[in-house]
Amino acid sequence: MAKAPSSLAPFSYNWVGGDIRGLSRLAGTLYGFADQAAEPANTLQGTVDRLVSESGDNAWKGSAADNFKMDFGQDIVDVRWMNGRTVAVGDAVDGLAVTLAKIESWLESQAEQGVRAGYVTLDGAGKMTLPKGTSDPRVQRFLQQFNQSREQALIAAKAARKVAAKKLAAEYSTLSNGLMNYKTNHRNLLSKNELAALDSNLRQLRQGFQDANHLLDSTSRPGAHEKALLKDAVMTATTIIGGTAGAVVGTFVEPGGGTIAGAGIGGLIGQGAGSMLGSIFD
Partner 1 sequence: MSGYDVVFDDLLKASAEFSRQGEAYANLMPHKPACPAGGDDTIDKMLNVTLQALYEMHTVLAQAVSAHAEKLDYTHRNYRKTEGNLFDYLTKVPPPTY
Out of 8, 107, 139, 157, which residue is the one contacting partner 1 (CB under 8 A)?
157
Report the SS3 class of residue 7: coil
Out of 2, 33, 148, 222, which residue is the one contacting partner 1 (CB under 8 A)?
33
Out of 122, 130, 205, 269, which residue is the one contacting partner 1 (CB under 8 A)?
205
Out of 3, 6, 37, 126, which residue is the one contacting partner 1 (CB under 8 A)?
37
Q: How many residues bind partner 1 (CB under 8 A)?
A: 73
Out of 198, 245, 249, 269, which residue is the one contacting partner 1 (CB under 8 A)?
198
Out of 16, 107, 120, 233, which residue is the one contacting partner 1 (CB under 8 A)?
16
In the region spanning residues 54 to 73, those forming contacts with partner 1, defined by CB under 8 A, are: 57-60, 64, 68, 71-72
The dihedral formed by the CA atoms of 134, 138, 140 and 146, expressed in degrees to the nearest 10: -120
Nearest to 235 by CA among 193, 208, 181, 273: 273
Q: How many CB atoms lie within 10 A of CB 270?
A: 20
Longest dimension (CA), the chain: 94
Minimum distance, C-beta of residue 171 to partner 1, in the bound complex (Å): 6
In the bound state with partner 1, the residue whose beta carbon lies nearer, of 223 and 246, is 223
Amino acid at 239: T
Determine, following the binding rule CB under 8 A, whether residue 128 of this chain makes contact with partner 1: no
Determine, following the binding rule CB under 8 A, whether residue 159 of this chain makes contact with partner 1: no
Minimum distance, C-beta of residue 126 to partner 1, in the bound complex (Å): 15
Determine, following the binding rule CB under 8 A, whether residue 122 of this chain makes contact with partner 1: no
Distance CA 254, CA 243 (A): 14
* DSSP designation for 35: H
Q: Choose the binding region for partner 1 from 132-140, 180-188, 227-235, 265-273 (rule: CB under 8 A).
A: 180-188
Minimum distance, C-beta of residue 250 to partner 1, in the bound complex (Å): 27
| Binding map of partner 1 across residues 94-113, x = CB under 8 A, - = no contact | --x---x-------------
In the region spanning residues 220 to 279, those forming contacts with partner 1, defined by CB under 8 A, are: none
Q: By the 8 A CB rule, do 93 and 6 touch?
A: no
Q: What is the Cα Rg of the chain in Å?
A: 26
Which H or E element spans position 129?
Answer: strand 128-129
Distance CA 74, CA 191 (A): 19
Determine, following the binding rule CB under 8 A, whether residue 6 of this chain makes contact with partner 1: no
Out of 186, 203, 227, 231, which residue is the one contacting partner 1 (CB under 8 A)?
186
Distance CA 42, CA 97 (A): 32
Q: By the 8 A CB rule, do 117 and 138 touch?
A: yes
With a CB cutoff of 8 Å and minimum separation 6, the contacts of 243 are 249
